[in-house]
Chains A and B, each alone.
Chain A
């Protein structure tokens, strides 16, 4: 797995030099997330392992089918008939009619799903952006409509849990249709799961050290051992979801949005 990611990083780094031609024209569609701290769901011991997160920009909306279509028009290697299977499994963009046609059942303004981590990363880099880290994503997603720490509000947690518990809908609605949070980011919960740059090792701790792999502590009753907040069920569900992925996997309910440093 790690080798795979390394190889891909090499390829993508090379590729991103070419893709990065578009400057920051999407930045108006990004919102600023203030600096904060993120406490991983799982920690090694009782020492404070909170992670400081610098202020950063994140896309207001998840990336849409229409936006991703533009990307594949310009980057033929990410069309579904061309894509290297190492970078995207067979379900990649399977809801689209063909390489460059969405098809009548696909809402162009709905979030793009059936996207691999590699594809999401390539898209972000083509715009001079990147994927958010788990810490960044979690910080941005913690906010409800009126408060940067929405998890203090049990109703917000219950609402998220309810969405996570329902099967995904075949016909996703347009982005911006669920809710706008404190920072002005839309649909952080309630529409799709979202890729993060470090999904494969995040949340175990800031660094993997002696954790012994991402599946540690995941199953059955031991799932709560070492957890920092074992009442935040949605956090466990995100953790489990991320743990079940590999970078070339694609899923009907998994999309992404981009992030960017503040220079």
Chain B
């Protein structure tokens, strides 16, 4: 009897525990389990969602107004979701019920709120989350539609709240998930309107005038100039598939998002959930909108993220980098195989006068190469003797050397150091009026050109942390281009000879100052 009783008890206990289990399973269709959302700062993205059921997800986001760096030496008061611009990345699943806690830090000067484009409901949550400094608001919503959505502050004057940095992305993953990839990154473009011009040092207040004219001084990825270059570059390895969650906070500009040297294998246009297009070079990202792009990285090197409204990239800061490591694949991309003189003798444009764009009147005037190959060699060799016989060298040979120097500068140097040598603040150091050149002289320049350079370097008080690959140039060409840098760009009398190049090119010790 006792045994039977014991057995019964065991059965009952097992029965109860089974019951509990089956009960919790049956509830899994409804979002019962509460999960705290993992939030990440750009360029990182929370891990893909492994759940195959909807959940209650609690999001805690704190608004903080704080002074930070917009560019090297340029300070700005950012209004942030989570302490940085752009705001923290939120990742939830279609069908999740999100309980959103918005905390406005007591030190905030202003009330703030959040309008998530993923919300179905008035104001996207703006009214429900309107929060005075030192308070918290709670509201909840159900993520009905999957996709990649922008969120932003919508407190009046809304443009100002966005202009000061109040935006970010929320991904509502479709039930079936997104296809697996090797790397996921968060890239958000936006623009800043400052009283001072681009690069003007010190604290810069918001310029309402420039904002109304939609004429920003800064267009940046992930909140500041240089936020994704140097050691903060995005990283991937050859053979991997990369997915970028791209958002545009605006407040005004539409982005022509492009990665130099890559083709987007697929684009989820405007952040929707179906692949609308394959094999895309540049995709539009509307202000207050997004796009998801995916591509395989097949060769190593640096791939530059830009807004292909290109002055924004070169002059306003819209540059980021993806550094891909791994073995070369010379079939897909060979790098430069050969660099040789093109005399123009066979040019089909021989009868056109480039200075007027018109056909030359007489056949006698038709362009002829100024030197045959042998003569060219002779002229170039003058570089090495130029110093010794500076007065005797003919003016025509000097101009040929200058021409060669200019040609090389334009083809190999100007893309980064700019045609006038002024470089790009924080990204590419100047070669014009550069204190690095003053301090390191010919020897330093020759070594950089011959051996390349990477890691931190300070030029004219500005820090750079970038990579310059070794240039595949002959000794003569190095001499010519550096002479060009001295004479034409810096208007100095300094020249660099082939002997100089031979002497210094194997010195790999470089100064970072």
Contacts and interface: CB of A to CB of B under 8 A. Distances in A.
Given A158-B208, A221-B158, A233-B157, A240 B110 contact: yes
Contacts of B111: 240-241, 243-244
Contact of A219 (B126, B134, B205): B126
A251 B132 contact: yes
A252 B157 contact: no
Given A166-B65, A167-B66, A220-B115, A215 B127 contact: yes
A83 interface: no
B110 A241 contact: yes
B156 interface: yes
A239 interface: yes
Contact of A253 (B109, B156, B157): B109
Contacts of A215: 127, 130
Nearest to A90: B134
B8 to A, nearest CB: 55
B269 to A, nearest CB: 24
Interface in A192-228: 193, 215, 218-221, 223-224
Interface of A: 91, 158, 161-162, 164-168, 170, 193, 215, 218-221, 223-224, 230-231, 233, 236-237, 239-241, 243-245, 249-253
A55 to B, nearest CB: 31
Contact of B155 (A158, A221, A240, A249): A240
List 10 tightest A-B contacts by C-beta distance, closest first: A244-B111, A223-B156, A244-B132, A167-B65, A220-B154, A236-B157, A219-B126, A162-B205, A219-B154, A236-B156
B115 A168 contact: no
B108 interface: yes
A184 to B, nearest CB: 26
B127 A251 contact: no
B77 A218 contact: no
Contact of A168 (B109, B123, B158, B208): B109
Contacts, number: 106
B interface, size bucket: 20 to 34
Contacts of B66: 167
A221 B157 CA distance: 8
A220 B126 CA distance: 8
A14 B107 CA distance: 35
A220 B114 CA distance: 10
B106 interface: yes
A247 to B, nearest CB: 12
Contacts of B451: none
Contact of A91 (B106, B157, B205, B206): B106
A245 B132 CA distance: 6
B273 interface: no
A249 B104 CA distance: 13
Contacts of A244: 111, 130-132, 155
A224 B111 CA distance: 17
Given A167-B108, A252-B107, A218 B132 contact: no
A219 B158 contact: yes
B232 interface: no
A224 B156 CA distance: 8
Nearest to B113: A219
Given A158-B208, A223-B158, 10 more contacts: A91-B106, A165-B206, A167-B108, A168-B108, A219-B115, A236-B156, A241-B111, A244-B111, A244-B155, A250-B134
Nearest to A254: B133
B156 A251 contact: no
Contacts of B113: 219
